[in-house]
Structure 1
């Protein structure tokens, strides 16, 4: 990664960390873009180059970290393990811990929940790399498969984090791992 790209990555991470910290301290509705920008030591205009909303900034810190962990876990899986099993295990590992304060904030705030589910797409490029390496498919093929994996994971997590508009959290009968296995399992023929 070149200096410019590294600087962009650092700025995005600083904005995401500031947004999440402020949301945890003050509540999402009481956080303003200019506060996030100031806390990250950038201008509000710079902030707008990175995030379309404060909700996306708040969830970015969690999803960026989770994406790195999913890819690390995926890369650490045995090469002879079926890829679909590796993918399910890599995603499921990220949901084994009890929800953190940040995760609780996201699951209890509808606008954050939607931004969080939308941001799962940030995991696609590194997953596509692993798919290309493991299956030897083209970049386009790997990108399409990674998008399918991302969609399956998003749907499984959405079912797992079932919070009704009333705020009532419905505990699903299935574990997140079972939901991930079922959803990603539909992609098994393509991931062989």
Structure 2
């Protein structure tokens, strides 16, 4: 590939990313204002200044425009998990792998805050999120089992995966609910530290 080809490809990829982001932002804004059932693909496309045909080049339906995000590409987290040195404990390895998602989410906080609000207010979107997570969880279980040298039927890898997922979810919801400080990574670290410590009861207020 020549330098010109690389520049052209890079420009085209940036344009695609910008169009996708505009469609997602438009979908979230409109659904937050009107509710999921009262927003159409045509309205989302118009708000993003593209055609409905262009919309379907990126998403299969309006629900997908709301829930899907490159930061949630589980394959990146799984790939990172597979590269963490074997001597690192499994829970810590998962935490390191989650950096692949934490950085992009932190960088786009307002969009994610709106997304989480929309999903909370439109629970029909939850099955799509759950379905997307299942494949990632299975892949993580396989990688963790291979790291530990145990079979896929061993209870520990799925337990680590489930606990880590719950910790990440709780930290993300906490991060979205406040003013954005401390950063998401710090809240995730706090959640994982609590798990590693055996979830001791917190001291009483005051």
TM bin, normalised by shorter chain, reads 0.5 to 0.7
How large is the RMSD of aligned CA atoms in angstroms? 3.8
1:76 is displaced (CA, Å) by 1.6
Unaligned runs of 5+ in 2: 1-17, 46-51, 199-206
CA contact (8 A) 1:106 1:113 kept: no
CA contact (8 A) 1:124 1:146 kept: yes
Separation in 1, partners of 2:147, 2:196: 14
CA contact (8 A) 1:127 1:146 kept: yes
Separation in 2, partners of 1:86, 1:189: 16
Separation in 1, partners of 2:191, 2:183: 12
Separation in 2, partners of 1:18, 1:40: 12
Question: What per-residue deviation string (whole Å, max 9, x for no partner) do you get for residues 65-92 of structure 1?
Answer: 2x22222221121111222222212213
Say if 2:49 is the partner of 1:40: no
1:155 is displaced (CA, Å) by 0.8
CA contact (8 A) 2:23 2:65 kept: no
Q: Residues 74-89 of structure 1 correspond to what in structure 2 (within 5 A)? A: 74-89=81-96
Unaligned runs of 5+ in 1: 1-16, 49-53, 163-168
Which structure has the larger Rg over C-alpha atoms? 2
1:153 is displaced (CA, Å) by 0.9
CA contact (8 A) 1:152 1:180 kept: yes
TM-score by length of 2: 0.56
Question: What per-residue deviation string (whole Å, max 9, x for no partner) do you get for residues 122-165 of structure 1?
Answer: 53222212211112344342233312211111111111222xxx
Structure 1's 55 and 107: CA in aligned 2 closer, same or farther, altered over 3 A?
A: farther
Question: What per-residue deviation string (whole Å, max 9, x for no partner) do you get for residues 11-34 of structure 1?
Answer: xxxxxx987542335644385246
Separation in 1, partners of 2:30, 2:162: 29
Separation in 2, partners of 1:112, 1:20: 17
Structure 1's 113 and 137: CA in aligned 2 closer, same or farther, altered over 3 A?
A: farther
Which residue of structure 2 aligns with residue 185 of structure 1? 193
Separation in 1, partners of 2:190, 2:87: 21
CA contact (8 A) 1:160 1:179 kept: yes
